[in-house]
């Protein structure tokens, strides 16, 4: 699936000087949940009636537009709204973590229709993990055909597949192969994205918002949204803050092979590897003990403080309006409080004005973000033009 080029969500206003391709008409209809009448579309686009109707016919035939109830009560024949047909369209969202995969089936209105969670070990070969995940996905679908699928991965994802995974936890995986296998087995387009970046997209509340979402689980990653646009960077590595060096981590070996990374001291992996916590077998067990084990609580608090130290630089650089901290470790109140305090202590005051530092809605935001990204990609004007030309050609 191609990278979505649009911003996240529409402004709700018809764009000025709108081009008149069918794909652009669909984009306009998607920006308004109430839809538009034919008269509205004629006025907004300045198109000739015959051309507009021809484009709409193609969208109707492709099942992308439907005619809904009358827009407003009036005498005579009331105008009917044309809407983007998001009915019965499902997106499969798969979040692959270090030890678990979360699967959610969502409608395009972001309702979660079905969910499953399966243990995986991403240190194992890609084929083995995928077979397991696909087996559960097909059970979850119960014969329903998704319009697309999105996969969140705990590694940098370069849309052009030029940045390798060598330094990541998925060094032994191949993204191109992953996408091709999933597309073949699920019989729909598949989009791959970094998990923290997907979470950031799922956290967007306002189309022009600037926010940073940070996921702290086994590893640490972040997703950056600047005035509604997702920042991937030149090669998909934007937001990979786990490998920023901090003085407190000097001499500590990180999984990436370097010394001194933030993740070497503040990640779930680092917490779990501490000798004093050897009794805890999994990160979940360690996290659950935070309320009763004072040593765990102290370690989690220190990890939050260290993340805050690194994030103060992010806040100063990007001036986000909201920082949403999620992930198994990130949502712990002690972690969040210590992180918040360190940012307030370290960042320059102007970048702190009106800054919200909150817990991310971890349970659903990654799936919602993946669903949004898949929708933006599937219904991008260029893709719709190609789809319609394939249908007639
Ligand atoms: Zn590192």
Dist. CA 241 → ligand 1 center (Å): 9
356 with 210, same domain: the answer is yes
Q: Are residues 81 and 94 in the same domain?
A: no
Q: Please give the distance, rounded to the nearest whole angstrom, from the Cα atom of residue 301 to the centre of ligand 1.
A: 21
Q: Residues 213, 349: one domain? A: yes
How many Å lie between the centroid of ligand 1 and the Cα of residue 243?
4
CA of 261 to the centre of ligand 1 (A): 5
Is 370 within a domain?
no
In a domain? residue 200: no
For residue 249, how far is its CA from the centre of ligand 1 (angstroms)?
A: 10
Kindly state whether residues 336 and 252 are assigned to the same domain: yes
Q: How far, in Å, CA of 237 to CA of 222, rounded?
A: 10
CA 387 to ligand 1 centroid distance, Å: 43
What is the rounded CA–CA span in Å between residue 329 and residue 219?
10
CA of 244 from ligand 1 middle (Å) equals 7
In a domain, 162, yes or no: yes
Expressed in angstroms and rounded, the spacing between residue 281 Cα and the centre of ligand 1 is: 23
CATH number of the CATH domain containing 18: 1.10.10.10
Of 160, 188, 216, which residue is a domain's last?
Answer: 188
Q: How far is the CA of 216 from the centre of ligand 1 (A)?
A: 14
How many whole angstroms from 311 Cα to the centroid of ligand 1? 16
Are 94 and 14 in the same domain?
Answer: no
pTM for the structure as a whole: 0.90
Q: How far is the CA of 258 from the centre of ligand 1 (A)?
A: 6
The H or E element containing residue 299 is helix 294-318
Distance 245 CA to ligand 1 centre (A): 8
Same domain, 12 and 112: no
230 in the same domain as 294: yes
The CATH number assigned to the domain holding 356 equals 3.30.420.40
Could you tell me the distance, in angstroms and rounded to a whole number, from the CA of residue 279 to the centre of ligand 1? 25
Q: Is 281 exposed, middle or buried (0-12, 13-18, 19+ CB in 10 A)?
A: exposed
Question: For the chain, what is the domain count?
Answer: 3
Q: What are phi and psi of 83, to 5 degrees?
A: -130, 155
One domain, residues 357 and 211: yes
Q: Walk along the chain (393 residues) and give the pLDDT tens digit of each residue.
A: 544 444 344 444 445 445 589 999 999 999 988 899 999 999 988 899 999 999 999 999 999 999 987 656 666 667 789 999 999 999 999 999 989 999 999 999 999 999 999 999 988 999 999 999 999 999 999 999 999 999 999 988 876 666 666 667 777 888 888 999 999 999 999 999 999 999 999 999 998 999 999 999 999 999 999 999 999 998 888 999 999 999 999 999 998 889 999 999 999 999 999 999 999 999 999 999 999 999 999 999 999 999 999 999 999 999 999 999 999 999 999 999 999 999 999 999 999 999 999 999 767 899 999 999 999 999 999 999 999 999 887
Q: Phi and psi for 260 in degrees, rounded to 5?
A: 90, 10
The domain containing residue 80 runs over which residues? 1-85
Contact by Cβ (8 Å): 182, 134: yes
Distance CA 179, CA 211 (A): 28
In this structure, the answer to whether residues 50 and 140 fall within a common structural domain is no
- Find out whether 340 and 352 touch, Cβ atoms under 8 Å: no
> Are 229 and 326 found together in one domain?
yes
Distance 3 CA to ligand 1 centre (A): 27
DSSP 12: S
Which of 188, 219, 238 is the C-terminal boundary of a domain? 188
Query: Distance between alpha carbon 222 and the CA centroid of its chain, in Å?
Result: 11
Interatomic CA distance for residues 376 and 186, integer angstroms: 19
Q: Report yes or no on 288 lying in a domain.
A: yes
- Say if 372 falls within a structural domain: no
Which pair of tokens denotes residue 203?
A: 């956290």
Residue 367 lies in a domain: no
Same-domain pairing of 308 and 181: no
Distance 252 CA to ligand 1 centre (A): 10
Question: What is the rounded distance in angstroms from the CA atom of residue 390 to the CA atom of residue 393?
Answer: 5
Same domain, 353 and 264: yes
Q: Which of 85, 103, 121 is the last residue of a domain?
A: 85
Q: Is residue 39 part of a domain?
A: yes
Q: Could you list which residues have their CB under 5 Å from ion ligand 1?
A: 243, 254, 256, 258, 261
Rounded to an integer, what distance in angstroms lies between the CA atom of residue 42 and that of residue 57? 15
Q: Can you read off the two tokens belonging to residue 217? A: 């689980």
CA of 13 to the centre of ligand 1 (A): 44
């Amino acid at each position: 699936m191609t990278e979505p080029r649009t911003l996240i969500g529409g402004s709700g206003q018809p764009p000025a000087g709108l081009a008149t391709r069918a794909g652009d008409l669909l984009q306009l209809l998607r920006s308004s949940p109430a839809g538009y009448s034919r008269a509205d579309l004629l006025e907004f686009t300045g198109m000739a009636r015959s051309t507009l109707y021809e484009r709409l016919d193609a969208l109707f035939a492709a099942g992308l537009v439907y005619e809904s109830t009358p827009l407003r009560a009036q005498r005579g024949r009331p105008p009917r709204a044309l809407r983007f047909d998001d009915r019965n369209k499902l997106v499969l969202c798969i979040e692959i973590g270090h030890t678990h995969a979360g699967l959610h089936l969502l409608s395009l209105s972001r309702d979660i229709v079905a969910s499953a969670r399966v243990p995986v070990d991403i240190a194992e070969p890609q084929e083995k993990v995928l077979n397991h995940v696909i087996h559960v996905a097909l059970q979850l679908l119960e014969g329903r055909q998704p319009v697309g699928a999105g996969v969140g991965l705990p590694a940098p994802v370069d849309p052009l597949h030029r940045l390798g995974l060598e330094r990541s936890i998925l060094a032994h995986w191949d993204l191109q192969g992953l996408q091709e296998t999933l597309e073949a087995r699920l019989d729909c387009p598949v989009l791959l994205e970094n998990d923290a970046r997907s979470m950031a997209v799922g956290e967007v509340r306002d189309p022009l918002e600037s926010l940073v979402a940070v996921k702290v689980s086994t590893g640490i990653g972040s997703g950056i949204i600047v005035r509604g646009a997702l920042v991937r960077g030149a090669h998909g590595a934007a937001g990979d803050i786990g490998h920023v060096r901090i003085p407190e981590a000097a001499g500590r070996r990180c999984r990436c092979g370097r010394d001194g990374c933030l993740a070497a001291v503040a990640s779930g992996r680092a917490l779990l590897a501490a000798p004093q916590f050897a009794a805890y077998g999994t990160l979940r067990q360690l996290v659950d003990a935070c309320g009763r084990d004072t040593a765990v609580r102290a370690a989690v608090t220190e990890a939050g403080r260290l993340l805050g130290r690194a994030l103060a630089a992010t806040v100063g650089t990007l001036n986000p309006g909201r920082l949403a901290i999620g992930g198994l470790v990130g949502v712990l109140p002690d972690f969040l409080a210590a992180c918040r305090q360190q940012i307030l202590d370290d960042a320059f005051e102007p970048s702190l004005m009106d800054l919200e530092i909150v817990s991310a809605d971890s349970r659903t935001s990654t799936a919602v973000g993946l669903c949004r990204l898949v929708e933006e990609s599937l219904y991008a004007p260029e893709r719709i033009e190609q789809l319609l030309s394939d249908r007639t050609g």
